Structure 1
Amino acid sequence: MNAIDLETSLIHKKENRYFVLALIFSVFIYLCLFISIIFIFILPILILLPLFAQAIMMASIRTNGVRITPRQFPEVFAIAQAQCERMGFTVVPDLYVMESSGILNAFASRFFGRNMVVLYSDLFEMIQAGGEKELTFVISHELAHIKRNHLSKQLLILPALWLPFLGEAYSRACEYTCDRMAAYYTNDAEAAMNGLTILAIGKTLYKRVDREEYLLQSSYEKGLFVWLAEKLSTHPPLPKRIYAIQQYAGISSNIIFKTSSSRIALIIVLAVILVLGGSVTIGVTFSKSIDTFMSSLDGPPTDDQMLGAASEADLELVKSLLNAGGNPNAADDEGWTALMWAAQLNETAIASSLIDAGAQLNVIEQSYEETALTIALYNESIEMVALLLDEGANPNLQDSTGWTPLMTAAKNGDIEGAELLLKAGADPLKVDETGYTAEDYALDAGFDELAELLQNLGDQI
């Protein structure tokens, strides 16, 4: 893979999309200002004031911060220099460390061609506590901002950065890109995840954090204000950033972060566009979500509406959408279906309504090759498992590694689930690509009673 293809593969899929939307919106605002009599007064404020503030901030850092050089903190300079070489920099940006009153963070800045990376002192001290790899990730993340020209692009799309949701969405996508680039150029996903965990809880306690439990805790957080807190932030939630690194590195996890219902987002974005622009047309131009909303007024319910209703466990809305011609097999880009949402939340009534309307039982989603049945088994939702099997879900469906629903039950020690699967015809002798059976996974996990059950049935076969 050449350098261009490599860099393209590291860019988060939404970064360029949001940048184009932000650029179109900004150009529109610039054109409106250009034909307006107040253009002469607003343009200097719009462009020169942010530049002036940026220059003052960088001057303050240069006069108060401690610059990292081959003589001043040479070990950190060596880390930065090595990463610059890997990332294709011809010149090492100016590096500074500053006291931060306990704040753990770093940032990159740029002014008239001069790049700067600033490390806050508490984060900088990680190197004294054996956190050299984590510090390398943080430095590489900031270098990635410079490499991707994020700082220059922000000046170009200033009007869009003032628009709620759009500017923040672009910034969050940039953060995902920089996390991915930093993980690649450090070649250490574990250090990347540790570095993000440090930002959450500190440079000492991070070693005691159960990362999967931390992600699981965050994945359960839903609601309007949780959604607003994320969508109005320039940085994604730290657990989602850790989860994204896991996905990029191919690290398996049972945690699932799903996008919440888009209906609330559509209403809020539409209101903002109407207030700022006085026109629904502007909203359609700058937001794909608005276009989806407008088209849904005339035609049948959209897949997003069905997924949103299922994810919110809204039985009445699901039924209403189905009655209006909604798709019972609605799925997102990764193949996650409304029925999978019902299985995740153990909503048997919603699942029954979807199945009665024609929902397919054995759809496999792309990320982890799960089905509604395996999702129900992971959650030990026995009622849902029974319903899906009664309706005809395949108890012997294997993914690309040969993994079966019975192996899921065995690894979790789920005797009830295993008994339902066996009753439905699950084969305990099936093996995955490692040659393991469900009985082997039960034994490895210490579930002797379940292993004995599987062994007895296997002997009978």
Structure 2
Amino acid sequence: MYVDPSLVHKKEKGYYVLALIVSIIATLVLLISIIGIYILLFIVVVPLLAQAISNASIRLNGVRITPKQFPEIHELVYQQSARMGLPYLPDVYIMESSGVLNAFATRFFGRNMVVLYSDLFELMNRGGEKELAFVISHELAHLQRRHLTKQLFIIPAMWLPFLGDAYSRACEYTCDRMAAHFTEDPEAAMNGLTVLAVGKSLYKQVDREDYLLQSSGERGLFVWLAEKLSTHPPLPKRIEAIQRYADPHRASIFRSSKMALVIVLSACLVVIAMFVTGVALSSQLMKLASGAFEEGYSDEELLDAAMNGETSRVVELLDQGANPDAADYGGWTALMSAIDQNNAEMARALLNAGANTDLTEDEYENSALTIAISSGNEEIAELLLGHEANPNLQDSFGWTPLMTAASYGEEGMARLLLENGADTSLTDENGWTAFDYAMDAGYETLAQLLKPGMAEAA
């Protein structure tokens, strides 16, 4: 239906176009990163989901107005819908409101709804049928102007302070004017708005002009913020807007701040800057997290390759930057796997890549060197010592590689350790030396070699 342009607030279209541009830019910015996509889904899906649940609750619990249920109001809705050119009759529900006076229009999976709070609905029992007609017509105007559908395209902008609120306030002014026009009773329209201010019992006693003067005298930053951060204009301003609609020559008693536009634009720029910075930072964090994940994945792949004896794959992964000191949850490294398998080629590749020879696994605190000694592999032991493995590395019990060689009767290993600086005087927590363990195991020849002072004398 054609709507007289004079009924539409002059800023409604402008705010909507600006909000649409901001929403498109915000969407494009968010789509360039994975975390941005999640943010976009959150700011779009969460409000829609909350609205759908709320509307479903209304349909479950509200009383729907029908030809049998409150027929007078049903007829009013039918007549006003026809006057306003709505191609359908919306569902209208009454809800208990615990004293709250309000009404709103909403959508539920493509179905338009108008909800009236019960205390407001009671106006019909107090001689306020015309005022109630204005309130209902106001909500029908939202449907006629397709405000609810349009908001779906500007959801990102509706999260921004000032801009989304400004568009919403312009829509409210439009709907007030349309409701006054189609009810053909501006006086009832002003009364209907006064009802929202003081209630259904006192609205007739309010001195309207004094009420408007009182509000126009309110000044200050927080008064300004209270208005600009609200989705609805102050009730006195809405009443005065109806007065000026009925009498276009009437001068406004409300003065707009000259700094308002500057403050709004500055706030929007700050929010947008913070928004873009947040997305950029989030993108970098995602890259770091992704890198950490890839590093963890390559570590796991290296450990698997070493455990399976895949030397060429280990070399390939090391060339790709895999961590040569990668360890499993028990502290077992790829180097330990290579030595446990007597794989000198793999051990050499890991050592050349910078593997730490003195790391120990958790359960028995074995190092790469003690594992080589236990395996009897002198070639790998010599290789480890050549890469600065510590021959005097002690575990939490004071056990040394030389004690391991003594316990296993590995005379060749013992000589190799001594040649590389192993200390025969070191003791464990029991006060035993490598000599003591060789004697205890019955390796007397080896014990003489390990007797403190003998290596130096030799």
TM-score w.r.t. length of structure 2: 0.58
Aligned to 1:236: 233
Q: C-alpha displacement at 1:46, in angstroms? A: 2.8
Equivalent residue runs for 1:279-358 within 5 Å: none
Aligned partners of 2:227, 2:241: CA distance in 1, in Å? 15
Aligned partners of 1:14, 1:261: CA distance in 2, in Å? 16
| Aligned counterpart for 2:105 among listed residues 103, 108, 132 | 108
Change (3 A) 1:251 1:198: farther
1:152-195 residue CA offsets vs partner (Å, 9 max, x unmatched): 11121111111110010000000000000001110110000000
Q: C-alpha displacement at 1:272, in angstroms? A: 4.7
The 8 Å contact of residues 180 and 186 in structure 2, kept in 1 or not, is answered as: yes
Structure 1 residue 127 and structure 2 residue 124: aligned?
Answer: yes
Structure 1 residue 198 and structure 2 residue 195: aligned?
Answer: yes
1:345-365 residue CA offsets vs partner (Å, 9 max, x unmatched): xxxxxxxxxxxxxxxxxxxxx
Letter matched to residue 21 of structure 2: I
Q: C-alpha displacement at 1:54, in angstroms? A: 1.3
Task: With a CA cutoff of 8 Å and minimum separation of 6, indicate the structure with the bigger relative contact order.
Answer: 2
Aligned to 1:117: 114
Larger radius of gyration: 2
Secondary structure of the residue that 1:103 maps to in structure 2? Answer: coil
Aligned to 1:148: 145
The 8 Å contact of residues 142 and 178 in structure 1, kept in 2 or not, is answered as: yes
Structure 1 residue 176 and structure 2 residue 173: aligned?
Answer: yes
RMSD (CA atoms): 1.9
How much identity, in percent, do the aligned residues show? Answer: 66
Aligned partners of 1:55, 1:136: CA distance in 2, in Å? 27
TM-score w.r.t. length of structure 1: 0.57
Change (3 A) 1:26 1:77: same
The 8 Å contact of residues 56 and 108 in structure 2, kept in 1 or not, is answered as: no
The 8 Å contact of residues 222 and 260 in structure 1, kept in 2 or not, is answered as: no
Aligned to 1:373: none
Instruction: Give 4+ residue runs of structure 1 displaced > 4 Å after superposition.
Output: 251-255
Q: C-alpha displacement at 1:256, in angstroms? A: 1.2
Secondary structure of the residue that 2:122 maps to in structure 1? Answer: helix
Aligned to 1:81: 78
Change (3 A) 1:271 1:118: closer
Aligned partners of 1:163, 1:271: CA distance in 2, in Å? 9
The 8 Å contact of residues 246 and 252 in structure 1, kept in 2 or not, is answered as: no
Equivalent residue runs for 1:2-151 within 5 Å: 4=2, 6-151=3-148
| Aligned counterpart for 2:269 among listed residues 269, 273, 287 | 273
Q: C-alpha displacement at 1:275, in angstroms? A: 4.3
Aligned partners of 1:96, 1:108: CA distance in 2, in Å? 10
Letter matched to residue 20 of structure 1: V
Aligned to 2:424: none
The 8 Å contact of residues 214 and 239 in structure 1, kept in 2 or not, is answered as: yes
Q: C-alpha displacement at 1:230, in angstroms? A: 0.4
Aligned partners of 2:232, 2:170: CA distance in 1, in Å? 8
Equivalent residue runs for 1:192-271 within 5 Å: 192-250=189-247, 256-262=253-259, 266-267=262-263, 269-271=265-267
Letter matched to residue 277 of structure 1: A
Q: C-alpha displacement at 1:80, in angstroms? A: 0.6
Aligned partners of 1:274, 1:214: CA distance in 2, in Å? 36
Change (3 A) 1:244 1:271: closer
